[in-house]
Amino acid sequence: MYAMDGFELNIFETHRAAHRVPLRLDGLALTTMLRGKKVMHLPNRPAFDYLPGESVVVDKGELMEIDFPDACPCQPTQCLAVAIAPDTIRHTIDLLNERYPKAEAHQPWKLQGPEHAHLTNTPELTDTLGRLVAVARTTDVNKDVLAGFTLQELLVRLMQTQARQLIFHDYARHLTTHRFAAVVGYIKDHLTESLTIDKLSALACMSKATFFRVFKREFGLTPVEFIIRERLGEAKRLLRHPLASVADVCLRAGFNNLSYFQALFKKYEGVTPGAYRKQMVA
Average the pLDDT over 136-148 and give the result: 90
Q: How many whole angstroms separate alpha carbon 221 and alpha carbon 74?
A: 39
Question: Has residue 194 got a pLDDT over 80?
Answer: yes
Q: How high is the mean pLDDT of the chain? A: 94
Residue 80: CB partners within 8 Å, gap ≥ 6? 9, 10, 11, 12, 31, 32, 34, 129, 133
Average the pLDDT over 88-97 and give the result: 96
Average the pLDDT over 260-277 and give the result: 95
What is the per-residue pLDDT across 35-45, written as a single tens digit (0 to 9) for each?
999 999 998 88
What pLDDT is stored for residue 282 in this prediction? 65
What pLDDT is stored for residue 281 in this prediction? 75
What pLDDT is stored for residue 6 in this prediction? 87
Average the pLDDT over 52-73 and give the result: 94
- What does the DSSP assignment read for the chain? -EEETTEEEEEEEE-S-EEEEEE--SSEEEEEEEES-EEEE-TTS--EEE-TTEEEEE-TT--EEEEESS-BTTB-EEEEEEEE-HHHHHHHHHHHHHHS--SSTTS-S----GGG-EEEPPHHHHHHHHHHHHHHH---TTHHHHHHHHHHHHHHHHHHHHHIIIIISSGGGGTTT-HHHHHHHHHHHTTTS---HHHHHHHTTS-HHHHHHHHHHHHSS-HHHHHHHHHHHHHHHHHTSTT--HHHHHHHTT-S-HHHHHHHHHHHHSS-HHHHHHHHH-
Average the pLDDT over 192-196 and give the result: 94
Binned at pLDDT 50, 70 and 90, residue 243 comes out as: confident
Residue ranges and CATH numbers for the domains of the chain are 1-169 (2.60.120.280), 172-282 (1.10.10.60)
What is the per-residue pLDDT across 205-216, written as a single tens digit (0 to 9) for each?
999 999 999 999
What pLDDT is stored for residue 153 in this prediction? 97
Q: Are 121 and 32 in contact (CB under 8 A)?
A: yes
Question: Has residue 113 got a pLDDT over 90?
Answer: no
Binned at pLDDT 50, 70 and 90, residue 5 comes out as: confident
- Share of residues in the chain with pLDDT > 70 (%): 100
Average the pLDDT over 206-231 and give the result: 97
**Residue 244 backbone dihedrals phi, psi, to 5 degrees:** -75, 130
Binned at pLDDT 50, 70 and 90, residue 139 comes out as: confident
What pLDDT is stored for residue 276 in this prediction? 94
Average the pLDDT over 214-238 and give the result: 97
Q: How many whole angstroms separate alpha carbon 32 and alpha carbon 235?
A: 29
